[in-house]
Amino acid sequence: MNERIAGGHPWIFGNELQPIPPDSIKAGSLVEVYTIDKKWIGIGYFNPKSQIAVRLLTRKKEPVDAHFFYKRILDAWQYRQKLGYYENCRLVFGEADELPALIIDKFNDYFVIQTLALGTDVWKAAIVDALEKIFKPKGIYERNDVPVRELEGLTQQKGFLSAPFETEIIIRENGLQFYVDIENGQKTGYFLDQQHNRSAIAPIVKQAKVLGAFTYTGTFEIHAAHYGATSVKGIDISESAIQQAKRNAALNHLENICHFEVANAFDVLKQWAKEEQKFDVVMLDPPAFTKSRQNIQNALNGYKEINLRGMKLVANGGFLVTSSCTNLVNAQQFLQTIEWAAKDARKKIRQVTFQTQSNDHPIIRGLENTEYLKFLIVEVRDK
């Protein structure tokens, strides 16, 4: 058996299977998988249209039915509760919860679902039914408007999976409140994976002048103001994101401290460095610079450039807060890139903390797609 599969990886690629006669197995159906010498491997979704031909659900000989999904989702919820999650969390994180290609985010009494593979999509009704039984939610929404579905032969779509409800809601996080636009916000409407990292900035922002780039809806910046920053500036290229950031600041009565403006981070950080502007804390939370292995070097160049510009704006002895959200750039590559940026910026850096995503996004060693977020705080000093 392939060592990767034997070691627990749930993906079986098409070139790892013996030839299968066309149309002999319906796409999206469940299949039993065996080794070439007839040893049991497990049960999974089959899709000949996908590069990942089988996504294993279980290594046991057990029925995969509606109760199977109910039990897996209940197990995922009980695990989150053990970690202290009750209101908002990633309830199901795909392969890390043994439910490949399924994402469920819980925003208090509302749920957002992504079924990212054909096999998962087939069981969508059972997944919704399980949520109804376990939580009796106020609403369930589908955010399947993502291009990755097309690789599975699926269409992009979004909409209600329950009775319609008001899709702009308010959630609580770290003593603050934020609007979540379930229907039109990025991904599922809110980035839950940074919630622990947002609280990690508390010690370094007290009495600080703070800049946040790629602010999106202002969550890091509003946390900074909440934790005692004297002034906070946030920039993002999206007009709608900036308007939401302003609303979030007002929701928390921090609009006098937080100021948001539409700007291209690459352009203005370079200009402000030339003007020798300085901030006590600079925070960078850029989008993934690549979704393809072919473009990893370009992504690393982008991370180096934006962090170099950020460091030049940090006052001597201040702090850089920086993130990368693509699993295609691993932790070692990211940290090395930050070191190179510091060298070119003629700065000395000292690590304060290095973390991954919040604990409701579990990491399984050997499943690289489960370990994707890198979050780093460094002290920055002049050479």
pLDDT tier at 368 (50, 70, 90 boundaries)?
confident
Domain that holds residue 71: 66-169
- What's 17's domain CATH number? 2.30.130.10
For the record, the structure tokens of 110 come out as: 């509302």
- Nearby residues of 130 by Cβ (< 8 Å), 6 or more positions away: 66, 69, 70, 73, 74
Q: Are residues 247 and 371 in the same domain?
A: yes
Which residues share a beta bridge with 319?
A: 281, 379
For the record, the structure tokens of 117 come out as: 């593979």
Q: Are residues 126 and 207 in the same domain?
A: no
* Domain termination residue (choose one: 105, 138, 169): 169
* Residue owning tokens 């599975």: 152
- Asked, for residue 180, whether it belongs to a domain, the answer is no
- Asked, for residue 202, whether it belongs to a domain, the answer is yes
Question: Rounded to the nearest 5°, which phi and psi values hold at 283?
Answer: -115, 130
Q: Are residues 74 and 41 in the same domain?
A: no
- What's 77's domain CATH number? 3.30.750.80
- Asked, for residue 175, whether it belongs to a domain, the answer is no
* Domain termination residue (choose one: 58, 85, 101): 58
For the record, the structure tokens of 227 come out as: 């934790």
Q: Are residues 126 and 217 in the same domain?
A: no
Q: Are residues 290 and 357 in the same domain?
A: yes
Asked whether 172 and 157 are in contact (CB, 8 A), the reply is no
Q: Are residues 320 and 202 in the same domain?
A: yes
The domain tally of the chain equals 3
Q: Are residues 48 and 73 in the same domain?
A: no
- What's 230's domain CATH number? 3.40.50.150
On the question of pLDDT at 156 being above 90, the answer is yes
Q: Are residues 91 and 112 in the same domain?
A: yes
Q: Are residues 76 and 49 in the same domain?
A: no
Q: Are residues 255 and 119 in the same domain?
A: no
Q: Are residues 287 and 267 in the same domain?
A: yes
* Cβ neighbours of 365 (radius 10 Å): 9
- Asked, for residue 177, whether it belongs to a domain, the answer is no
Which one, of 52, 13, 18, 57, lies nearest residue 35 by Cα?
Answer: 18
pLDDT tier at 84 (50, 70, 90 boundaries)?
very high
With H, G, I as helix, E, B as strand and everything else as coil, classify residue 58: strand
Which residues share a beta bridge with 43?
A: 32, 58
Q: Are residues 51 and 84 in the same domain?
A: no
Confidence (pLDDT) at 285: 93
Confidence (pLDDT) at 293: 72
Q: What is the tens place of the pLDDT at every residue in 260-318? A: 999 999 899 999 999 999 999 999 998 877 666 777 887 888 899 999 999 999 999 99
